[in-house]
Amino acid sequence: MSSYEAVLPALSSAVASGAAAILLKHSTRGIKPILVNYIKAAAGSLTLGLIVLVFAWSELVSISLNDLILVAFIGLTGPFIAWFLYIKALSIGDISLVHPIVNTYSLSAMLFNFILLKSPIKIEHVAGALFVVIGIRLLAEKGKRGKFLAPMLLALAVSLIWGLNTVLFKIALARSGPLVLSFLRVFFAFIFMTPAALGQLSGVSIKLKYVGSASLAGLVSDFIGVFLWLLSLKLGEVSVAATISASSPIFSAMFSWSIFGEKISRRRALGIILTVAGICVVSAT
């Protein structure tokens, strides 16, 4: 198994993650975050559902009750709650501020791995965590930290939830396939979101372009991004795939600067680089 074969799909996965952040930010300009998340989940459920129907139906109907309960919890806390918080953070904060912080979920996963599975913490993990802490401090501009506090706290909450779900997803993967689990994860989220989303629809006028961008975000993040990530894991080592995929905030910052004209100071650029570097160190060990 050559690690070089994993580079292209892992890099493409990082680009897809960056593109999804742009699409979600655009969608919040015309739709409430809960509806953006609902449309995203609907698109992801439909696409993944069709794939599972063709390629993994027998595996879907034979999944154990324990795994079904576990993935339902992941769907509630991850694609529903965490993604709503992520989209809310994007709606009130800069992409170059929010995305690097939510991307630290692998560091959160390391902590939950230690707490739940008693996995050892290495010196490289501590070094990576130090890079991340310094990077996050640099992300907020001097004198403007009050303005950035809300999106940063939301992003940190997302990082913690995604970190926990990564550990739980890993436990479920020991017994069930990634394609079926990916579908059930977003499908359960869609079900849980339906009452809240429908309650927001009364008297709301929604432009088709925002529905389109939210749907495309679901396709990019829940289908294309997941497929490329799993392909990179299949073709190469986890450390290689995880390290390259961790670069996604760099792409989202570049996209946000070029598309939305988002101003990125040298201080924030350094914060993004240090945060990404810290996650790369954690992911590679």
pLDDT of 239 reads 67
Cα separation of 239 and 241, whole Å? 6
Check the CA dihedral 70-71-72-75 and report its sign.
positive
Where do the structural domains in the chain lie, given as residue ranges?
A: 3-283
Give the model's confidence band at 152: pLDDT under 50 very low, under 70 low, under 90 confident, else very high: very high
Q: What is the pTM of this model?
A: 0.90
pLDDT of 145 reads 61
Give the model's confidence band at 232: pLDDT under 50 very low, under 70 low, under 90 confident, else very high: confident
Stretch among 87-101, 143-157, 215-229 having the lowest mean pLDDT: 143-157
Whether the CB-CB separation of 16 and 224 falls below 8 Å is answered with yes
Per-chain mean pLDDT for the chain: 89
Is the confidence at residue 200, as pLDDT, over 70? yes
**What is the chain's length?**
285
pLDDT of 147 reads 76
Share above pLDDT 70 across residues of the chain, in percent, rounded to a whole number: 94
pLDDT digits (tens, 9 = 90+) for 36-87: 999 999 999 999 999 999 999 999 999 999 999 999 999 999 999 999 999 9
Is the confidence at residue 3, as pLDDT, over 70? no
Residue whose C-alpha is closest to residue 228's, from 12, 1, 44, 4:
12
pLDDT of 1 reads 47
Cα separation of 282 and 242, whole Å? 9
Q: Which residue has the higher pLDDT, 232 or 188?
A: 188
Cβ neighbour number for residue 264 with a 10 Å cutoff: 17
Is the confidence at residue 122, as pLDDT, over 60? yes
Stretch among 73-82, 167-176, 247-256 having the lowest mean pLDDT: 167-176
Residues sharing a CB contact under 8 Å with residue 80, sequence separation 6 or more, in sequence order: 37, 41, 189, 192, 193
